[in-house]
C-alpha cells in the first residue's frame, strides 16, 4: 500500500523522471536500446542505460507507451524488495521481532518512503547495494557460497545502474566492518558472536574479479557504441569531476551536510538514535554482530559521501538499510531490558509504523492530487500540440523543461541565443515558440525583425501561477482553432 498504490495519480514532476520517460520511449520507438536518446536528439550519457531499459520493458509489457507508473515502478519494486531483504536477514539472525522491526523502520523512514515512489535510479541502486552487503555479511558469517553469489549479483546490479560508485560505497561499508572486527580481536575481547564458518575474504575477492570483468566489458561496449562519449561524460564528468568538486556549475555542500540530513531523512526513527549511546545500547554493539555490521554499513557510506564535494540528499539512500538494522536492534534490546519492554516495543515500533503509514496514505491520496494542477504539464502540452501539430517541431527558447518536452513529444528543438530566435521567427511562415514569462517580458528589447504574439499559457483557471510557467508565442496574429 505504501509503495505500489497511486503511482499514476500524479504527472512526471521531476526532471529525472521525465528524462527516464523520454529515454525509455525512444528505446521502444527506435528499437536501438544501447544508447537511449532524449526527444531533442541528445544521447543519454549521464547514467548507464540499464535503468531506462527496465522502464522500457515495463512500458512494453503494459501498453507500449511510457507513463508515470512505468517510470516509478522500478523504484517502488526495489523499495519493497529492499525492505523484504532487511526483514529476512533480521528474522533469520535474531527472530521475527528484529526482522519485522527493522523492516518496518526502513519502510517508514521519510526519505526512503518518498524515493520509493519517485522514478530515480537511487532506489534500485539501494536494492543492489543491500543485496551485495547482506550477501557479503551472510557469507562472512556462515561461509555460504549462495550468499557470496548474492553479493556478486547485488554489486553487479548496482554497477550496471550507476557505475563504479555502487562498488565504492559497498567497499567503504565492508572496510569499516573489517576494521572494527579486527580491532575487537586485537584488544583481546571478542565482541562478536562466534562465526558459524567464516567465509574466507580472499574467496570473496576472487569472486569480484569475474563480476568486475563482466561489468567493465558492458561499459566498454556502451562506450564503443557512443564513439567514446560515454566514458568521457559518465565516468569523467558525472563520477570524478562531480565527486571531486571540479564541476563549477554544481552547488557544493560542507562535510557535515549529511549529518544534518539524517535527522530529517530517518524521521520518525531518528528519535531512537539517543538509545544507541546509552549503556545498554553500547552493549548491543559489543554483543551483536548484525548490529555492528549495520552500524559499519551506515557509517562507512556516510563517511565516504561526506568526503565528496558535490552532495545530494538522495545519495545517502543506500546507507539507510544499515541504519534500520542497528536502530531496530538497539531499540528492541534497550526496551526489552526495561519493565514492560515488550509492550513498549509494540507501542513504539508498531504505533510509529501505523502512524506513518496512515499519514503517508493521506498525504499521497489527498494532498498530492490537490497540488497536481500546479505541477502537471500535460494540459499545456496538449494545447501547444493543437496549435503545432506533430510532426511540426516545437521550439523551446532557453528552456530545459524535460517534463514539458516529454508531453510535447518529438520533434522538439531548442534555441538559446536571441539572434537565432530572431531569424527563426522573422520568416513569413507561421511559427511557434515556448518561452518563460521573464523572456516574454523582454523580447522586444532583443528581437529586430520578428514580432511575437501571445497564444496561450499554463496559468491556472483560478488565476494562480503554475510552478513552471510557460507561454506559447507565435510570429503572426490571428485566431487559432483549438477544437481539434
Output the pLDDT for position 29. 87
Per-residue pLDDT for 155 more than 80?
yes
Residue 154 half-sphere exposure, CB side, CA atoms within 13 Å? 26
Instruction: Pick from 3-17, 120-134, 174-188 the range whose average pLDDT is largest.
Output: 120-134
Output the pLDDT for position 148. 86
Output the pLDDT for position 191. 43
The share of the chain scoring above pLDDT 90, in percent, equals: 49
Q: Find the largest Cα–Cα distance for the chain.
A: 88
Per-residue pLDDT for 197 more than 60?
no
Cis? peptide before 42, omega within 30° of 0: no
Give the 3-state secondary structure of residue 453: strand
112-142 pLDDT, tens digit each: 999 999 999 999 999 999 999 999 998 888 8
Average pLDDT over residues 350-377: 90
Output the pLDDT for position 484. 38
Per-residue pLDDT for 190 more than 50?
no
Output the pLDDT for position 121. 95
State the helix-helix crossing angle for 68-94 and 289-307, rounded to 10 degrees: 140
Mean pLDDT of the chain: 86
Output the pLDDT for position 347. 85
468 — pLDDT class (breaks 50, 70, 90): very high
> 207-211, 303-307, 310-314, 359-363: which has the minimum mean pLDDT?
207-211
Output the pLDDT for position 383. 93
Output the pLDDT for position 244. 61
8 A C-beta contact, residue 311 and residue 253: yes
CA–CA distance, 289 with 269 (Å, rounded to integer): 21
C-alpha dihedral (139, 145, 147, 148), degrees to nearest 10: 80
The share of the chain scoring above pLDDT 70, in percent, equals: 89
Output the pLDDT for position 66. 94
219 — pLDDT class (breaks 50, 70, 90): confident
Per-residue pLDDT for 8 more than 80?
yes
C-alpha dihedral (129, 134, 140, 142), degrees to nearest 10: -150
Output the pLDDT for position 328. 92
Per-residue pLDDT for 296 more than 70?
yes
CA–CA distance, 263 with 250 (Å, rounded to integer): 24
CA–CA distance, 238 with 21 (Å, rounded to integer): 20
CA–CA distance, 36 with 34 (Å, rounded to integer): 6
28-59 pLDDT, tens digit each: 988 766 788 888 888 888 888 899 999 999 99
Give the 3-state secondary structure of residue 396: strand
397-438 pLDDT, tens digit each: 999 889 999 999 988 999 999 999 999 998 888 899 999 999
382-402 pLDDT, tens digit each: 999 998 888 888 899 999 889
8 A C-beta contact, residue 78 and residue 317: no
State the residue for C-alpha cell 536492534.
329
Amino acid at each position: 500500500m505504501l509503495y505500489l498504490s497511486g503511482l499514476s495519480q500524479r504527472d512526471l514532476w521531476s526532471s529525472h523522471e521525465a528524462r527516464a520517460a523520454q529515454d525509455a520511449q525512444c528505446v521502444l520507438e527506435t528499437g536501438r536500446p544501447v544508447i537511449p536518446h532524449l526527444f531533442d536528439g541528445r544521447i543519454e550519457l549521464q547514467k548507464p542505460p540499464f535503468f531506462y531499459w527496465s522502464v522500457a520493458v515495463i512500458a512494453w509489457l503494459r501498453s507500449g507507451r511510457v507513463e508515470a507508473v512505468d517510470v516509478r515502478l522500478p523504484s517502488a519494486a526495489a523499495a519493497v524488495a529492499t525492505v523484504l531483504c532487511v526483514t529476512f536477514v533480521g528474522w533469520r539472525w535474531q527472530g521475527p521481532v528484529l526482522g519485522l522491526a527493522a523492516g518496518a523502520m526502513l519502510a517508514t523512514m521519510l526519505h526512503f518512503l518518498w524515493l520509493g515512489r519517485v522514478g530515480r535510479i537511487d532506489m534500485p541502486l539501494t536494492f543492489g547495494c543491500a543485496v551485495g552487503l547482506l550477501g557479503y555479511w551472510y557469507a562472512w558469517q556462515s561461509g555460504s557460497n549462495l550468499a557470496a553469489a548474492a553479493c556478486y549479483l547485488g554489486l553487479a546490479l548496482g554497477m550496471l545502474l550507476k557505475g563504479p560508485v555502487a562498488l565504492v560505497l559497498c567497499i567503504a561499508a565492508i572496510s569499516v566492518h573489517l576494521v572494527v572486527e579486527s580491532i575487537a580481536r586485537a584488544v583481546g575481547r571478542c565482541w562478536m558472536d562466534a562465526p558459524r564458518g567464516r567465509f574466507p575474504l580472499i574467496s570473496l575477492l576472487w569472486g569480484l574479479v569475474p563480476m568486475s570483468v563482466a561489468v567493465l566489458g558492458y561499459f566498454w561496449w556502451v562506450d564503443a557504441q557512443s564513439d567514446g562519449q560515454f566514458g568521457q561524460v559518465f565516468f569523467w564528468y558525472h563520477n570524478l569531476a562531480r565527486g571531486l568538486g571540479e564541476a563549477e556549475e554544481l552547488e557544493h555542500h560542507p562535510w557535515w551536510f549529511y549529518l544534518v540530513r539524517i535527522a530529517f531523512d530517518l524521521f520518525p526513527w531518528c528519535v531512537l538514535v539517543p538509545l544507541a549511546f546509552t549503556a545498554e545500547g553500547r552493549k548491543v554493539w559489543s554483543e551483536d554482530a548484525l548490529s555492528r555490521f549495520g552500524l559499519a554499513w551506515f557509517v562507512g557510506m556516510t563517511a565516504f559521501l561526506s568526503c565528496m564535494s558535490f552532495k545530494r540528499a538522495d545519495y545517502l539512500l543506500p546507507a539507510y538499510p544499515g541504519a534500520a538494522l542497528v536502530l531496530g536492534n538497539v531499540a528492541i534490546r534497550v526496551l526489552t531490558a526495561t519493565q514492560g519492554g515488550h509492550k513498549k516495543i509494540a507501542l513504539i515500533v508498531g504505533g510509529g509504523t501505523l502512524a506513518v503509514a496512515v499519514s503517508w496514505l493521506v498525504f499521497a491520496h489527498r494532498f498530492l492530487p490537490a497540488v497536481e494542477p500546479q505541477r502537471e504539464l500535460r494540459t499545456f502540452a496538449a494545447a501547444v500540440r493543437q496549435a503545432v501539430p506533430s510532426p511540426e517541431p516545437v521550439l523551446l527558447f532557453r528552456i530545459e523543461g524535460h517534463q514539458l518536452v516529454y508531453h510535447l513529444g518529438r520533434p522538439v528543438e531548442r534555441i538559446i541565443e536571441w539572434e537565432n530566435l530572431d531569424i527563426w521567427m522573422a520568416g513569413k511562415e507561421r511559427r511557434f515558440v515556448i518561452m518563460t514569462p521573464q523572456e516574454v517580458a523582454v523580447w522586444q528589447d532583443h528581437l529586430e525583425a520578428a514580432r511575437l504574439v501571445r497564444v496561450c499559457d499554463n496559468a491556472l483557471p483560478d488565476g494562480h501561477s503554475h510552478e513552471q510557467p510557460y507561454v506559447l508565442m507565435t510570429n503572426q496574429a490571428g485566431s487559432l482553432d483549438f477544437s481539434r
